[in-house]
Amino acid sequence: MIRDITIGQYYPADSILHRLDPRLKLNGTLIFIISIFLFNTFYGYIAVTIFLASIIKMSKVPFKFIARGLKAIIVILLFTMTFNLLLTPGDVLLQVGFLKITRQGLHSALFMGIRLTYLILGSSLMTFTTTPNQLTDGLERLLWPLRRIKVPVHEIAMMMSIALRFIPILLEETDKIMKAQMARGADFESGGIIKRAKGLVPLLVPLFVSAFRRANDLAMAMEARCYRGGEGRTKMKPLRYEGRDGLAYIVLLAYLAVVIVISIFEDRLPVIL
């Protein structure tokens, strides 16, 4: 189950996208996300689709792998789409009993579907091409100005990277504890929701105890290695923009310009739906 979720994973490959600076990719994702919420007609999505398709191609990540990320949200996706389809008032296209499908409903359901799908595709493409470390480094640098308003940027980034380090360890540990309790006759699979929730206590308590013990050990080990927060720290792998990043920023700005122009003029084009 958990293994099926590909969102947030890193997919190692040698592509231009993998080599770009994480700050650029974070900014690019932000611009992309804004762009998909910019339009009310389908014209805009032609540009978005071309853009998305070309970066997917460039990333060298197999489309099948990317699409698997959608599996995790398929329920939410269908749910929102159905709601939009059935509950939007407007010009009725079809009526079955008390269920009405309106033109406006169809319109917003389709838009919602496209937006959510593109949102997942775009943002998971970023994580597929960026290692977790680069991602936290990028975030730390982008959020750096927020330090002035007392946001603990370094600490947040450090927490994220430690979480990334320990998630696989804790998952493995969960499996071990589960087996150990099953060896004592525990049952995690049957029973109603209350019985199941109660059944989780023998799993969660040891897991928390272990997580706290690990946190304690790690804090001590970090202090023993002279860790004292972000002040005065240097970086083994500092982020540096390269020529290709500049080029990518230009492409990104060009894309932004195109989508803005389309969003201004889209109302003057013939209505499709």
Partner 1 sequence: MEMVKVENLAFEYIRRDEEGNVESINRAIDGVNLDVKKGDFIAVLGANGSGKSTLAKHINAILYPTEGTVWVNGLNTSEEQNIWEIRRSAGMVFQNPDNQIVATVVEEDVGFGPENLGVPTDEIWQRVEKSLEAVNMLEHRDKSPNKLSGGQKQRVAIAGIMAMKPECIVLDEPTAMLDPDGRNDVISTIHKLNQQDNITVILITHHMSEVINADKVFVMNKGQVVLQGSPREIFSEVDKLKSYRLDVPQVTELAYELRKAGLDIPKGILYVEELVEALGKIKR
Partner 2 sequence: MQIVFDNINYVYSSGTAFEQHALKDINLKISKGEFIGLIGHTGSGKSTLIQHMNGLIKASSGGIYYEGQNIYDSNYSMRELRSKVGLVFQYPEHQLFETTVFKDVCFGPKNLGLDKLEVELRAYEALKMVGIGEDLLDASPFELSGGQKRRVAIAGILAMRPEVLILDEPTAGLDPMGRDEILGQVANLHKEKGLTVILVTHSMEDVAKYVDRILVMNKGNLVMDQETRKVFARYKELEEMYLAAPQVTYITNELKAKGLDINTDATTVAEAKEDILKYINN
Q: Please state the three-class secondary structure of 219-252 as a single string.
A: HHHHHHCCCCCCCCCCCCCCCCCCHHHHHHHHHH
Minimum CB–partner distance for residue 69 and partner 2 (Å): 18
Which of 28, 57, 56, 58 has its CA nearest to residue 256?
A: 28
Minimum CB–partner distance for residue 247 and partner 2 (Å): 35
Side-chain half-sphere CA neighbours of 83 within 13 A: 8
Task: List strand residue ranges (DSSP E) for the chain, in order.
Answer: 92-96, 99-102
**Whats the size of the chain, residue-wise?**
273
Decide if residue 170 touches partner 2 (CB under 8 A): no
State the Cα–Cα distance between residues 117 and 107, nearest whole angstrom.
16
Report the partner that residue 234 touches, choosing among partner 2, partner 1, none (CB closer than 5 to 8 A by kind).
partner 1
Total of residues contacting partner 2 (CB under 8 A): 18
Decide if residue 165 touches partner 1 (CB under 8 A): yes
Q: 104 or 161: whose CB is closer to partner 1? A: 161
Decide if residue 236 touches partner 1 (CB under 8 A): yes
Decide if residue 176 touches partner 1 (CB under 8 A): no
State the Cα torsion 253-242-7-120 to the nearest 10°: 10
Total of residues contacting partner 1 (CB under 8 A): 29
Contact residues toward partner 1 (CB under 8 A) are 131-133, 161-162, 164-165, 168-169, 213-214, 217-218, 220-228, 232-238
What is the contact surface with partner 2 in residues (CB under 8 A)?
Answer: 173, 176-177, 179-187, 201-202, 205-206, 209-210
